[in-house]
Amino acid sequence: MNRKRRHLTIVGGGITGLTAAYYLQKGIARQSLSLDFTLLEASNRLGGKVQTDVHNGFVMEKGPDSFLARKASAVELVKDLGMENQLVRNRTGQSYILHRNRLCPIPEGAVMGVPTRLLPFVRSSLFSPAGKVRAAFDLILPRSNMSGDQSVGHFFRRRLGNEAVDHLIEPLLSGIYAGDIDKLSLMSTFPQFYKLEKEHRSLILAMKQSRKLSTRKEKPKGQFLTLKTGLQSMVEAIESELPRQSVMKSVALQSIEKDGEGYRLHLSDGRHLHTDAVILAVPGPIASKVLKPPSASHTLADVAPTSVATVVLAYSKTSVRLEHEGTGFVVPRKENYTITACTWTHKKWPHTTPDGKALIRCYVGRAGDDSIVDQSDDAIITSVLHDLKRILDISGDPEFCRITRWKDAMPQYTVGHRSRVEKLKRHLDTHFPGIVLAGAAYEGIGIPDCIQQGKTAAEQTLRYVMAQ
């Protein structure tokens, strides 16, 4: 089986591709395989959206700032890298919804917007009396007979009504994907709610029961983890483990064509690379472009991704007087603001900010409304500061600002996404065996989801190549 030396190629050096390379190398060494691999990255650095800016004692994330602690894959990778002592959990605190120019607390007991305690929901100023009554209908409404996919918005509007969705659920859920809740696929984003309705009928009763079963006496812990030195340190640790000759930066893949039992990769520097299998850890539109013929991948480019930007503002702590204790707020789509969310980073992640300073991180851009991302730095900062000063008591100018644009970076899991991806993977298995898709465009956009996809792709591709 090992008489002929085999070769694998990973396209894309974001966290998915990096994870694939890391576990691929581990598998090769563990099994003493006659196998080489190449990691191609079009830019001059690895890590993709995982980037950390360290300046004057501030630790600022340009992309994701953390990952869900309950999803094991990211924690396992950190442990495998020997970085467990760098893990830090977020500080817990009240989160808010911007409603009619005021910050309103998210009702106590609300889980992803679904109430589990009725009294805080009834007392909340987020909803009118009619909106509260309509949400309570969930307690008596029958379960739906609808099968197959549907939009997140349609599902929750049917169960809890428009006010609960527009004022609470939409800003909490759609912000994760920078998407339109009335177009996002329920089965690709929050399938657990579909299952809850099928099993329990009422979402409120189901979530209440689930919360009761998970209630413990110990002090609540933050749900998110990051690294003290910034998430980029995880990228650097992986890169240091990879053979230097296996990583090619500033080299893009132009196209892939069949070449005997393997594939011929046409690279941007004019070279060609023969390989036995390929892990495509790139955005959907790029995968669609490089695969030949186009008919094999047209579904990858059906839905345009959204552009977003993060705006980090550093202040003296005396310049930011927060009347509300907590960690930040989200902004519903219906509110007349440019920012979509704001994290009081020095409150949520104290290790990121020097003593006497405040660090605020804002987000702009959402599906159907991302033109702000193309504006100049000055225009973005002006808009963000205008919004913030309408909401918070901020005096003076920030000590410095950091803007990071992520063009076409947020894939949109619209209705039917899962079936489109499954159809595409079946097509590749039949007509392009050995080509595996992985990454945020397919089966989860969070860091743990991408890590798990990278690890699974490495295992799948190893089995394929060594069976040839």
CATH code for the domain in which residue 328 is found:
3.90.660.20
pLDDT band of residue 294 (cuts 50, 70, 90) is low
Mean pLDDT across the stretch 104-128? 92
Residue 61 lies in a domain: no
Statement to judge: residues 317 and 334 lie in one domain: yes
314 shares its domain with 364: yes
Confidence of residue 292 (pLDDT cuts 50, 70, 90): low
Mean pLDDT of all residues in 134-159: 94
pLDDT band at 467 (very low <50, low <70, confident <90, very high): confident
The per-residue pLDDT for range 4-31, each reduced to its tens digit, is: 789 999 999 999 999 999 999 999 999 9
**CATH code for the domain in which residue 439 is found:** 3.50.50.60
Question: Which pLDDT does position 92 carry in this prediction?
Answer: 87
135 part of a folded domain: yes
Q: Are residues 351 and 279 in the same domain?
A: no
Give backbone dihedrals phi and psi of 44, rounded to 5 degrees, phi first: -95, 10
Quote the domain boundaries for residue 19. Answer: 6-48+242-303+414-466
One domain for residues 315 and 347: yes
207 and 111 belong to one structural domain: yes
Q: Which of 178, 194, 214 is the last residue of a domain?
A: 214
57-105 pLDDT per residue, tens: 999 999 999 999 999 999 999 999 999 999 999 998 899 999 999 999 9
Judge if 259 and 296 occupy the same domain. yes
CB atoms within 10 A of CB 135: 26
Task: Provide the pLDDT for residue 216.
Answer: 54
Is residue 81 situated within a structural domain?
no
133: domain CATH number is 1.10.3110.10
* Overall domain count for the chain: 3
CA distance 340 to 171: 8
Do 365 and 425 fall into the same domain? Answer: no
Q: Which residues contact 316 (CB under 8 A, 6 or more apart)?
A: 356, 357, 358, 396, 399
**Nearest-10 Cα torsion for 104, 106, 108, 112:** 170
Mark whether 43 and 183 lie in a shared domain. no
pTM metric for this prediction? 0.94
Asked whether residue 227 is assigned to any structural domain, the reply reads no
Q: Is residue 18 part of a domain?
A: yes
112 with 205, same domain? Answer: yes
Residues 125 and 210 in one domain: yes
